[in-house]
Chain A
Amino acid sequence: MSASTSSESSWSSPFAIFGYAMVAASAMAIAEIAYYSTDPALSAASLGTTGGIVVAVIAFVLFGLWGAPNE
């Protein structure tokens, strides 16, 4: 982790708020997509892309938290 400043560690900084929005939007998208995985006929077609999207979202958040601030 990079050295954090008081602003970036704040739960209500714009970076944090946009992060929450990003996580919420991703969760909604993944929930929409994963819904199809409950259908036996469709799960095989959906798993690869769904898995890739889940990993990408996790990476997005982790890299964002780890990356240097815009200072």
Chain B
Amino acid sequence: MVESDRSAVPAEDYRDTYPGFQRPPALVQTLNDTEEAIRQRLARLRLFDRIFLLHRDWMTRITMLMIILSVFWGAVGAFDIFGFQSQVVGLATGGPVELSNQEIYSSLTLHGIRMLFGFAQQLEMAFFGFLLVNVLGLTPRYKWRLYTSVALINLSIILIEGPIYLVPFNDNYFPAVGWYFLSPLGVANDSLYVVSPLWFLGWLALASSVLLWTWWMVSHFMVWYRAQPANYRRLPVFVLFILVTLVLIPLTYVPLLVSTVWDLGAYFGNWAMNPLANQVIFWMFGHGIVYILFLLPIAGLYLLFPILARRPPYSYRWAFVAAVMFVLLTPLLGLHHLYLAPIPSWSVWLTMALSFLIIIPSAITFFSLWMTLKGVPRSQWEWNAVALFALLAFAGSILGGLSGPVVATVPWDVDLHNSFFVLSHFHALTILSITAGGFALAYAFFPILTGRSWYSSRLALGHFLLTAVGGVGVVLAMDDLGSLGVLRRSFILPMLPQLTEYQLLLFGSIIVVLLGQLLFVLNGFLTVFWGSLFSSSGLSFDEAVRQAAQSTCPTHRHVPIEDRPFARRVSRARRERVEQLWVGTVAILLIVVLAMYTPAVLSTSNAIGSAGTAPPGTEFVVLSGQQYYWTVGESGRVNGTFDNVVVAYAGQWINVNATAVGATQGFYLPVRDEQVVNFQVVPGSESHALFQAPSDPGVYGAPDSEYDGPWFGQDVTALIVLPAPGPFPTLAPFQSSGGGGDIYNPPIYASATADLVADSLGLFNASVPGPTLTASAGPVSFQWSVPLSSIGVNNYLVNVTSSAPNQQQQYVIDHNYSLPESFGIWGIHPSAGLASVTNSSLRINSVEVETATLLPGVYLYGVIHPVDYSYDPSSDSGVTTGSDRGFVMGLWGVLWVNT
């Protein structure tokens, strides 16, 4: 441990938990003895001794263990996203898909969980614990409380992965749920996709771990606090923000416990489920956790800026105001993830106002940090890795922070909800702010922990450059994808050239970031074995940090590390004047912007929560979400019942009444040239929308905008916009207008030359709906095929429970290359709905030509009803492992026959 000059009370004033005359409880004694035996045995191996610091005190050992485990989970999480993005890029470039839908979406889910909790949360716990004990000059205690916390957080990440069967090998029960799991998705009896109960137990273990660690931290803080009354000293600003974290953790993790216990009760005990209420509770956690992690760079920068600059923070009082505001506001903002759900408009407005209000503590924080450096001469500043990562965390916080008000703005959320823009904002904060702040602290603390200076300043510089360049690339690529209207978690994507280009940019940027992290790990490894000895003996904490940072400076000109007395020359009033003006300006801006948006906020929210007044001639549409498709009932100028198809006339008003079962679904119609329609439908609630159909007749894509399980990608509805009665036009105007800017519109092919070929995902030409075929009235034909090679365990078309290779193909062969689903052409008659023109059983592995004589109008082709599919490759599905059933549509499209 490092001696601190900040300690008000000498270390010897603190008695350890168990003084020499008092023996610890038997269990603790046994644990201590066991740990000591293991430690001594492992310490004989140089590899373990050096890496895990087995020769050091227990606090240092546990801190190092947490850092190593957090880096481990970070590496696994990086591998997850590498796997996911390789599949996306493979699909976008016409390559094969190697992983199952379940594996692909599990990769994404586990990427989020491992990064957020295994890596970032654990790293924050390691650093904050190390800091609090060192800075307050405490003797660490309650070792087994901390050990248990560490064990639980790492156990939680393992549990969340779900069961893995070794014989026969089956790892498909990984959770394809989404880290922001939204009840009732995954809950048995409520959802078609059922996650393993281990998933919920993992979340309980995670919450228990972090709450236990908080108890450990508070216990130490109280030891310090009780010793202070007669000789109270002001806490350093960064300790204030650590305390903010300790307050926010129960306010954040207890809601997680509540929503998880509720899910488990519904899973096993048939407790009544109210998904909307459950989601509201969950988002108190889902949003709060981001701020808890964001406090890592904030506390880190408030620690490092004064140390590196050798002067105190600019304004203690305003930092205190910011800390209090973070505590008060953070728990209240979760609802802004549910702007498009049917919740009261006043609560939506209030959440938006509070979301704007939390800009103030952020504005105070980064202004104060910047001003802390004002007046620091260049000659007293060293650009080592600590300073560089502090710079990146500072800039990254601003980059990510400024896009925050955007996603907090309700009318804009209609356009961007769940789009890649949200991911761009989020990853600016996670990579460029939280992770960069964590690395700044890591470069400062590692030599203190290990007793060795960093091995290579060049590797540290390379780590910084690759992280910065790759991180910015990730943020930009995600922003570009968001600007096109691409939804997050999108795996099946429109085959647009610029979209493929951005996906490649994203993949390349991810690789650059990962290469950077390899340099960090390599440097750490080299440091513990071959780094020069580092001693903090006789140094203050600040001096030790400066000395540690110096070992990462690529130049040989170093600034002195010694503390120097700092005498204030500028009065507090003068410094605070500018803070007051800055905060006042921000507050006025927020009030003005909020006032501007208030009417739009209320009208947007009211329109989702209650049915609007329908103008004459409105088409009434009842949407019933079935997890992977909508059943559609229409009355008005068009009457009928469809699956994943809505039909209306150009410019006609459409009044939607929507419900859902199994999972929250979203209806996203991104006709960018005219309007974007976007609303969430939560099971147990009704959502509404009143909008005009686009003015150009054509076929528009409306994907599900809420992740609802492994066949999320296949869930795209077609809005068929009919021309006014009269001659039926071609789709030329629709094509020339770019389909209104809706990228999810299926491509358009002339039927006579179309060659529809199914892929391994059960889609024609990698598009869902399949390509829109055009023809003139009269004899119409098109060619299609479903190759035998496209049939496999991941293709929903063949419902065979087996993991044996080619069993699905053998099923097809055994059934004479014919499947029971009907494939054909159906006409859409505005007055009566669907009418079959021709259909027969689905033929596999032969080139078929569908032929019919058709009148002008709109038709559906393919398999136009969902296929009931159970993904159970090893017959292991059940209550203890999870199960996965889907009603999936993919092999269908629209046939447009003009006059």
Within 8 A of A (CB), among B362-389: 363, 366-367, 370-378, 381, 387
State A5–B379 Cα separation when bound (angstroms): 14
Give the residue name and chain of the A residue nearest to B416 (CB): A36
Q: In the bound complex, do residue A70 and residue B575 qualify as a contact, i.e. CB atoms below 8 Å apart?
A: yes
Contact of B378 among A14, A18, A50, A63 (CB under 8 A): A14
Interface residue B27 (Cβ < 8 Å from any Cβ of A): no
State A63–B585 Cα separation when bound (angstroms): 10
What residues of chain B lie closer than 8 Å to A10, measured between beta carbons?
377-378
What size tier do the contact residues of chain A reach?
35 or more
Q: In the bound complex, do residue A32 and residue B374 qualify as a contact, i.e. CB atoms below 8 Å apart?
A: no
State A50–B589 Cα separation when bound (angstroms): 11
Q: In the bound complex, do residue A15 and residue B375 qualify as a contact, i.e. CB atoms below 8 Å apart?
A: yes
Total B residues in contact with A, Cβ cutoff 8 Å: 68
What residues of chain B lie closer than 8 Å to A53, measured between beta carbons?
402, 405-406
What residues of chain A lie closer than 8 Å to B547, measured between beta carbons?
none
State A66–B374 Cα separation when bound (angstroms): 11
Q: In the bound complex, do residue A13 and residue B585 qualify as a contact, i.e. CB atoms below 8 Å apart?
A: no
Which stretch of B391-399, B606-614, B642-650, B886-894 is in the interface? B391-399
Which stretch of B522-530, B591-599, B705-713, B750-758 is in the interface? B591-599
The digit string for B160-186, where 1 denotes a CB below 8 A from any CB of A, is: 000000000000000000000000000
What residues of chain B lie closer than 8 Å to A15, measured between beta carbons?
370, 373-376
State A19–B381 Cα separation when bound (angstroms): 15
Q: In the bound complex, do residue A56 and residue B568 qualify as a contact, i.e. CB atoms below 8 Å apart?
A: no
Tell me the minimal C-beta distance from B412 to chain A in angstroms: 4
Of the candidates A5, A8, A29, A35, the one having the most CB atoms from chain B within 10 angstroms of its own CB is A29
Within 8 A of B (CB), among A1-30: 5-8, 10, 12-15, 17-19, 21-22, 24-26, 28-30
- With contacts A48-B593, A70-B575 taken as known, whether A29 is within 8 angstroms of B374 at the C-beta atoms is no
State A33–B412 Cα separation when bound (angstroms): 11
Q: In the bound complex, do residue B370 and residue A42 qualify as a contact, i.e. CB atoms below 8 Å apart?
A: no
Interface residue B98 (Cβ < 8 Å from any Cβ of A): no
What residues of chain A lie closer than 8 Å to B190, measured between beta carbons?
none
Within 8 A of A (CB), among B326-385: 363, 366-367, 370-378, 381
What residues of chain B lie closer than 8 Å to A36, measured between beta carbons?
412, 415-416, 483
State A18–B345 Cα separation when bound (angstroms): 41
Q: In the bound complex, do residue A42 and residue B378 qualify as a contact, i.e. CB atoms below 8 Å apart?
A: no
Q: In the bound complex, do residue A12 and residue B378 qualify as a contact, i.e. CB atoms below 8 Å apart?
A: yes
What residues of chain B lie closer than 8 Å to A35, measured between beta carbons?
479, 483
Q: In the bound complex, do residue B402 and residue A41 qualify as a contact, i.e. CB atoms below 8 Å apart?
A: no
What residues of chain A lie closer than 8 Å to B370, measured between beta carbons?
15, 18-19, 22, 64
Contact of A69 among B472, B570, B675, B741 (CB under 8 A): B570
State A21–B390 Cα separation when bound (angstroms): 11
Interface residue B14 (Cβ < 8 Å from any Cβ of A): no
- With contacts A53-B405, A70-B311 taken as known, whether A59 is within 8 angstroms of B592 at the C-beta atoms is no
Q: In the bound complex, do residue B424 and residue A32 qualify as a contact, i.e. CB atoms below 8 Å apart?
A: yes
Q: In the bound complex, do residue B376 and residue A7 qualify as a contact, i.e. CB atoms below 8 Å apart?
A: yes
The digit string for A48-71, where 1 denotes a CB below 8 A from any CB of B, is: 111111011101100110111111
What residues of chain A lie closer than 8 Å to B363, measured between beta carbons?
56, 60
- With contacts A32-B424, A56-B589, A60-B367 taken as known, whether A46 is within 8 angstroms of B406 at the C-beta atoms is yes
- With contacts A32-B424, A49-B405 taken as known, whether A41 is within 8 angstroms of B671 at the C-beta atoms is yes
- With contacts A15-B375, A70-B372 taken as known, whether A42 is within 8 angstroms of B578 at the C-beta atoms is no
Q: In the bound complex, do residue A14 and residue B309 qualify as a contact, i.e. CB atoms below 8 Å apart?
A: yes
Give the residue name and chain of the B residue nearest to A32 (CB): B479
Q: In the bound complex, do residue A41 and residue B673 qualify as a contact, i.e. CB atoms below 8 Å apart?
A: yes
Q: In the bound complex, do residue B402 and residue A26 qualify as a contact, i.e. CB atoms below 8 Å apart?
A: yes
State A22–B372 Cα separation when bound (angstroms): 14
Give the residue name and chain of the A residue nearest to B579 (CB): A67
Interface residue B574 (Cβ < 8 Å from any Cβ of A): yes
Contact of B391 among A21, A49, A52 (CB under 8 A): A21
Q: In the bound complex, do residue B483 and residue A49 qualify as a contact, i.e. CB atoms below 8 Å apart?
A: no
State A57–B405 Cα separation when bound (angstroms): 13
Give the residue name and chain of the B residue nearest to A35 (CB): B483
Interface residue B783 (Cβ < 8 Å from any Cβ of A): no
The digit string for B649-685, where 1 denotes a CB below 8 A from any CB of A, is: 0000000000000000000000111111000000000
What residues of chain A lie closer than 8 Å to B381, measured between beta carbons?
13-14
Interface residue B302 (Cβ < 8 Å from any Cβ of A): no
Q: In the bound complex, do residue B375 and residue A71 qualify as a contact, i.e. CB atoms below 8 Å apart?
A: yes
The digit string for B611-640, where 1 denotes a CB below 8 A from any CB of A, is: 000000000000000000000000000000
What residues of chain A lie closer than 8 Å to B399, measured between beta carbons?
25-26, 28-29
Q: In the bound complex, do residue B568 and residue A71 qualify as a contact, i.e. CB atoms below 8 Å apart?
A: yes
Contact of B575 among A7, A13, A40, A67 (CB under 8 A): A67
What residues of chain B lie closer than 8 Å to A41, measured between beta carbons?
415, 671-676, 741
Q: In the bound complex, do residue B415 and residue A59 qualify as a contact, i.e. CB atoms below 8 Å apart?
A: no
Tell me the minimal C-beta distance from A16 to chain B in angstroms: 9
State A71–B372 Cα separation when bound (angstroms): 9
Q: In the bound complex, do residue A30 and residue B402 qualify as a contact, i.e. CB atoms below 8 Å apart?
A: yes
State A3–B387 Cα separation when bound (angstroms): 27
Interface residue B582 (Cβ < 8 Å from any Cβ of A): yes
State A13–B791 Cα separation when bound (angstroms): 64
- With contacts A41-B741, A42-B672, A70-B375 taken as known, whether A29 is within 8 angstroms of B402 at the C-beta atoms is yes
Give the residue name and chain of the A residue nearest to B390 (CB): A18
Of the candidates A56, A68, A70, the one having the most CB atoms from chain B within 10 angstroms of its own CB is A70
State A70–B377 Cα separation when bound (angstroms): 11
Tell me the minimal C-beta distance from A43 to chain B in angstroms: 10
State A17–B414 Cα separation when bound (angstroms): 38
Interface residue B804 (Cβ < 8 Å from any Cβ of A): no
Interface residue B118 (Cβ < 8 Å from any Cβ of A): no
State A68–B577 Cα separation when bound (angstroms): 9
Tell me the minimal C-beta distance from B688 to chain A in angstroms: 20
State A15–B309 Cα separation when bound (angstroms): 10
Give the residue name and chain of the A residue nearest to B573 (CB): A68
Tell me the minimal C-beta distance from A58 to chain B in angstroms: 10
The digit string for B285-312, where 1 denotes a CB below 8 A from any CB of A, is: 0000000000000000000000011011
Q: In the bound complex, do residue A8 and residue B673 qualify as a contact, i.e. CB atoms below 8 Å apart?
A: no
Contact of A22 among B375, B398, B406, B577 (CB under 8 A): B398
Q: In the bound complex, do residue B581 and residue A13 qualify as a contact, i.e. CB atoms below 8 Å apart?
A: no
State A15–B126 Cα separation when bound (angstroms): 30
Tell me the minimal C-beta distance from A49 to chain B in angstroms: 5
Q: In the bound complex, do residue A55 and residue B589 qualify as a contact, i.e. CB atoms below 8 Å apart?
A: yes
What residues of chain A lie closer than 8 Å to B589, measured between beta carbons?
52, 55-56, 59
Of the candidates B371, B402, B569, B577, the one having the most CB atoms from chain A within 10 angstroms of its own CB is B402
Q: In the bound complex, do residue B582 and residue A22 qualify as a contact, i.e. CB atoms below 8 Å apart?
A: no
Interface residue B403 (Cβ < 8 Å from any Cβ of A): yes
Interface residue B273 (Cβ < 8 Å from any Cβ of A): no
Give the residue name and chain of the A residue nearest to B569 (CB): A71
Interface residue B211 (Cβ < 8 Å from any Cβ of A): no
Q: In the bound complex, do residue B585 and residue A59 qualify as a contact, i.e. CB atoms below 8 Å apart?
A: yes
Of the candidates A5, A6, A25, A44, the one having the most CB atoms from chain B within 10 angstroms of its own CB is A25
Q: In the bound complex, do residue B405 and residue A18 qualify as a contact, i.e. CB atoms below 8 Å apart?
A: no
Q: In the bound complex, do residue A57 and residue B391 qualify as a contact, i.e. CB atoms below 8 Å apart?
A: no
Interface residue B792 (Cβ < 8 Å from any Cβ of A): no
What residues of chain B lie closer than 8 Å to A12, measured between beta carbons?
378
What residues of chain B lie closer than 8 Å to A48, measured between beta carbons?
409, 593, 596-597
State A17–B394 Cα separation when bound (angstroms): 11
State A5–B569 Cα separation when bound (angstroms): 13
Q: In the bound complex, do residue A68 and residue B578 qualify as a contact, i.e. CB atoms below 8 Å apart?
A: yes
Within 8 A of A (CB), among B400-439: 402-403, 405-406, 409, 411-412, 414-416, 421, 424, 428
Give the residue name and chain of the B residue nearest to A55 (CB): B589
Of the candidates A14, A42, A50, the one having the most CB atoms from chain B within 10 angstroms of its own CB is A14
What residues of chain A lie closer than 8 Å to B574, measured between beta carbons?
68
Sample of 5 further A-B pairs with CB below 8 A, known A25-B398, A53-B406: A42-B412, A56-B589, A68-B575, A70-B371, A70-B373
Q: Give 17 pairs: A residue, B residue, CB < 8 Å, sorted on A.
A: A10-B378, A14-B309, A14-B373, A22-B370, A26-B402, A32-B403, A45-B415, A49-B412, A51-B593, A53-B405, A63-B367, A63-B582, A67-B374, A68-B570, A70-B312, A70-B575, A71-B568
7 cross-chain pairs, A with B, having the tightest CB-CB distances, nearest first = A69-B375, A67-B578, A7-B377, A29-B402, A21-B395, A25-B399, A25-B395
